[in-house]
């Protein structure tokens, strides 16, 4: 019995070791990756290259590690090996535009200018937007004056600031500014509003403050490129939230809501319009209906006067 127990103990211990080994290897690989990341961020290219080589040997499908290995090798003056690593990074799912940009740097280092320009074109087509890097990289000095390179800079700028170039995103610019807001009928002050463009001009933000009540609100207006329409999300300090959708129609920003349930059980549909009346005046006119448009009532009628 004693002999059998000893043999059983050996097999149990061996099984425990074998089951623990993958976990230990995974922990070691993770620790190596963390140390490699520190070296990479410190631009200790020699150390990061060695460590990332260990990571990809253990996990060949780690696209991020292949990419960083390639960057490290390129900075060590080994562009051929860097290109091989970038190929592995792309195959493992690393972002195309980043891999293509780094590959272009490696190709330019090898004086393969035409291939570098072609690779840069692919990077920019796929969304590369780091304009400063494009303009300052010494590797691109030999073709920086090339008209094709200038076009790539322009496209990268468009990638970086798509809303500054898209005509649809400029349709509501007439509302941007500092405004005093009055009631259209009697001219009494209703409040003030600062309308500004944020997030690289992709969103028009309204900051509303009422004149005679502790009421404030904000609206976020943006052109939905997927649905080809404008949308506004209004929120305020009384838990209010309204979602509008619409378009610029005959020079007027024309917004509508769906039928929305109200506290009294009715369903309210809104029609909100922003009507330019010259460069320094905008009318904001809101109507509502409880009967699917058979009858409309005025919610408010305001005039925005630009403060110069």
2 pLDDT higher than 60: no
Confidence grade of residue 29 (pLDDT, cut at 50, 70, 90): low
Q: Tens digit of pLDDT for each residue in 87-100?
A: 999 999 999 999 99
Positive or negative, the CA dihedral 95, 96, 97, 98 is: positive
What is the average pLDDT across 232-258?
97
Q: Residue 3: what pLDDT?
A: 46
219 pLDDT higher than 60: yes
Q: Residue 65: what pLDDT?
A: 97
- What ranges in the chain are assigned the alpha helix state H? 2-41, 45-58, 63-75, 79-91, 96-109, 113-125, 131-136, 147-160, 162-165
**Domains recognised in the chain with CATH numbers:** 2-164 (1.25.40.10), 168-306 (2.40.128.20)
């Amino acid at each position: 019995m004693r002999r059998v127990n000893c043999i059983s103990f050996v097999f149990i211990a061996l099984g425990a070791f074998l089951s623990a080994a993958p976990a230990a290897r995974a922990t070691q690989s993770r620790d190596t990756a963390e140390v490699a990341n520190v070296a990479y961020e410190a631009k200790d290219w020699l150390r990061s290259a060695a460590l990332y080589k260990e990571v990809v040997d253990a996990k060949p499908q780690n696209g991020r590690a292949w990419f960083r290995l390639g960057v490290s090798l390129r900075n060590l003056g080994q562009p051929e090996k860097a290109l091989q690593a970038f190929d592995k990074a792309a195959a493992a799912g690393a972002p195309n535009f980043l891999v293509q940009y780094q590959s272009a740097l490696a190709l330019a280092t090898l004086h393969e200018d035409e291939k570098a320009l072609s690779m840069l074109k692919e990077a920019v087509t796929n969304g590369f937007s780091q304009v400063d890097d494009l303009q300052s990289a010494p590797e691109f000095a030999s073709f920086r004056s090339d008209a094709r390179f200038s076009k790539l800079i322009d496209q990268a700028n468009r990638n970086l600031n798509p809303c500054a170039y898209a005509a649809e995103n400029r349709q509501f610019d007439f509302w941007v500014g500092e405004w005093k807001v009055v009631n259209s009928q009697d001219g009494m002050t209703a409040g003030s509003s600062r309308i500004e463009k944020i997030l690289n001009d992709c969103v028009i933000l309204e900051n509303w403050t009422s004149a005679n009540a502790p009421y404030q609100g904000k609206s976020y207006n943006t052109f939905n490129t997927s649905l080809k329409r404008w949308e506004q999300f209004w929120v305020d300090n009384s838990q209010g939230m309204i979602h509008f959708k619409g378009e610029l129609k005959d020079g007027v920003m024309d917004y509508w809501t769906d039928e929305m349930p109200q506290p009294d059980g009715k369903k309210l549909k809104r029609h909100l319009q922003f009507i330019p009346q010259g460069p320094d005046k905008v009318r904001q006119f809101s109507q509502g209906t409880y009967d699917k448009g058979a009858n409309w009532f005025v919610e408010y009628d305001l005039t925005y006067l630009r403060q110069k």
